[in-house]
């Protein structure tokens, strides 16, 4: 690098130090440009140096006549001004020596504020802190909206609106004609007004079919206990994605109908009304607060506690909380043992050998885990002593469930196999079970689950 370039760079450094304190601006020593950022000025000067480099090399590589021309500044030649004290030098070498004297004496250094770098660092830190704060608030808002959508409390409407939107989409796709849309909508509004389920998703005779199957097949089972007769209810277009808790409640009531004086089975909106009525009576205040006292017109999920507190029907139940796995394989053997005890306790005592297949008078059990719920309608005990639960899933379509009613043995076997769950298939961290004990007036206002163990 030649001396002219070196001097210019030195001038730039000094000028930058002074500008930070005095004007907070950076002037180019080679032109009239004023920059507010030192890095921009540096790039600008480097660009000018690259452009002028060929011309300067030609000048420095010329004969002594060029040096003579550059030394005749007093008579109209080029001059060089010190950026620190405005002294005019006749050549670049003199300016270089002069600026170095300034630097040696500490003139430029003393002009720089010692706290400028600290202030810059603090400003950058505050900007980064503010940026992260805004980003965190945005992410929190998005997560909250996601949870609202997941649990059906985002204002999109409940059973009726979802059913109407589903039928509207069917019309727009050409699957349903407008006349059918209006007829089905009128039928839906009539059913909702009555508060009684229309039975469109119900499959009857499931437990009878299971009893016949186990009598003939499944010789690897030494004992099978089945619940009382229970109808299967699956999700419909109006509650798909969020109605499993309500459908399991309907399955439970379908069993109780055969033992208790319930003449009608409520629709999902009616179940929501029943739960809200229990809250107004002061039952389960924590649950009422969680749902903001409102279920009607929403797609809010319900779980074990809401099942227990549907007390407009005065159903007395126990809630058992299997809150953690009790096996190295992250399974719940205590859950399986408890279910076996529940169903086998009503077997006729006094018999020397209990029958291999027993259909008990016990209602089904409501099984809840994160994100879904199902109904336990029986338990198998294999020859090796292992236990296997029989589950009715609201997510199964009527067509799949009705395969249990088939006359074809292989079809029934496949359908039963899909119902069975060994401990290795139930590996959620926590399960809750609701067991109906009968009907009575409840005095307790606060729900407490029994933790096992």
DSSP string, 377-419: EEEEEETTS-EEEEEE-TTS-HHHHGGGG-S-HHHHHHHHHHH
3-state secondary structure of 350: coil
CA distances from 271 to 32, 297, 316 (A): 80, 12, 16
Marked catalytic residue, from 2, 372, 400, 428: 372
pLDDT digits (tens, 9 = 90+) for 62-74: 434 434 434 444 4
Give domain status of residue 71, yes or no.
Answer: no
CA distances from 21 to 16, 78, 82, 189 (A): 9, 30, 18, 77
Residue 99's pLDDT is what?
A: 72
Marked catalytic residue, from 91, 229, 308, 393: 393
Determine whether 244 is an active site residue.
Answer: yes
CATH number of domain containing 256: 3.90.70.130
Domain holding 217, by residue range, is 202-263+298-347+354-451
Residue 51's pLDDT is what?
A: 65
Residue 50 pLDDT exceeds 80: no
Q: Which of 282, 293, 309 is nearest to 447 (CA)?
A: 309
Q: Which residue has the higher pLDDT, 55 or 78?
A: 78
Give domain status of residue 381, yes or no.
Answer: yes
User: pTM of the full predicted structure?
Assistant: 0.67
Classify strands 450-451 and 315-322 as parallel, antiparallel or unpaired.
parallel
Looking up tokens 């409520």 gives 266
Report the helix count and the strand count for the chain, using DSSP H and E: 16, 15
Residue 335's pLDDT is what?
A: 96
Give domain status of residue 99, yes or no.
Answer: no
Give domain status of residue 40, yes or no.
Answer: no
Marked catalytic residue, from 244, 284, 369, 388: 244
Total structural domains within the chain: 1
Q: Which residue has the higher pLDDT, 178 or 101?
A: 178
Determine whether 239 is an active site residue.
Answer: no
Give domain status of residue 219, yes or no.
Answer: yes
CA distances from 210 to 108, 315, 378 (A): 95, 27, 9
Give domain status of residue 54, yes or no.
Answer: no
pLDDT digits (tens, 9 = 90+) for 320-334: 999 999 888 899 999
Q: Which residues contact 184 (CB under 8 A, 6 or more apart)?
A: 167, 176
Residue 449's pLDDT is what?
A: 73
What's the half-sphere exposure (Cβ side, CA atoms, 13 Å) at 381? 17
Give domain status of residue 287, yes or no.
Answer: no
- Nearest-angstrom CA–CA distance, 175 and 167: 9
Structure tokens at 208: 């009878």
Give domain status of residue 249, yes or no.
Answer: yes
């Amino acid at each position: 690098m030649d001396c002219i370039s070196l001097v210019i760079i030195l001038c730039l450094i000094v000028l930058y130090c002074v500008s930070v304190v005095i004007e907070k601006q950076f002037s180019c020593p080679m032109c009239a440009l004023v920059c507010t950022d030192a890095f921009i000025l540096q790039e600008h000067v480097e660009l000018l140096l690259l452009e002028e480099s060929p011309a300067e090399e030609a000048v420095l590589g010329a004969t002594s006549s060029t040096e003579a021309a550059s030394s005749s500044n007093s008579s109209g030649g080029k001059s060089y001004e010190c950026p620190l004290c405005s002294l005019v030098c006749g050549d670049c070498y003199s300016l270089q020596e002069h600026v170095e004297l300034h630097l040696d004496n500490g003139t430029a250094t003393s002009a720089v504020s010692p706290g400028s770098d600290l202030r810059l660092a603090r400003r950058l830190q505050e900007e980064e802190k503010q940026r992260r704060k805004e980003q965190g608030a945005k992410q929190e808002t998005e997560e909250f909206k996601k949870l609202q959508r997941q649990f059906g409390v985002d204002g999109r409407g409940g059973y009726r609106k979802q059913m109407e939107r589903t039928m509207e989409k069917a019309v727009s796709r050409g699957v349903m004609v407008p006349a059918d849309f209006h007829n089905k909508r009128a039928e839906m509004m009539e059913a909702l007004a009555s508060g009684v389920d229309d039975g469109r998703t119900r499959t009857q005779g499931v437990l009878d079919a299971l009893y016949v199957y186990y009598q003939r097949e499944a010789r690897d089972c030494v004992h099978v206990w089945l619940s009382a007769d229970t109808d299967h209810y699956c999700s419909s277009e109006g509650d798909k994605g969020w109605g499993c808790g309500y459908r399991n409640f309907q399955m439970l009531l379908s069993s109780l109908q055969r033992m208790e004086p319930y003449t009608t089975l409520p629709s999902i909106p009616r179940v929501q009304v029943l739960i809200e009525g229990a809250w107004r009576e002061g039952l389960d205040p924590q649950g009422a607060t969680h749902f903001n006292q409102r279920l009607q017109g929403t797609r809010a999920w319900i779980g074990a506690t809401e099942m227990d507190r549907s007390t407009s029907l005065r159903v007395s139940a126990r809630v058992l909380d299997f809150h953690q796995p009790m096996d190295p394989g992250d399974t719940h053997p205590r859950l399986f043992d408890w279910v076996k005890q529940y169903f086998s306790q009503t077997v006729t005592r006094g018999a020397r050998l209990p029958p291999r297949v027993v259909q008990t008078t016990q209602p089904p059990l409501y099984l809840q885990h994160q994100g879904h719920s199902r109904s336990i309608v029986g338990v198998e005990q294999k020859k090796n002593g292992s236990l296997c639960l029989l589950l009715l899933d609201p997510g199964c379509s009527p067509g799949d469930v009705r395969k249990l009613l088939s006359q074809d043995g292989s079809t029934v076997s496949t359908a039963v196999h899909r119902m069975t769950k060994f401990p290795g298939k139930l590996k959620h961290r926590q399960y809750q079970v609701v067991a109906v004990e009968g009907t009575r007036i409840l005095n307790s206002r606060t729900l407490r689950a029994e933790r096992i163990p």
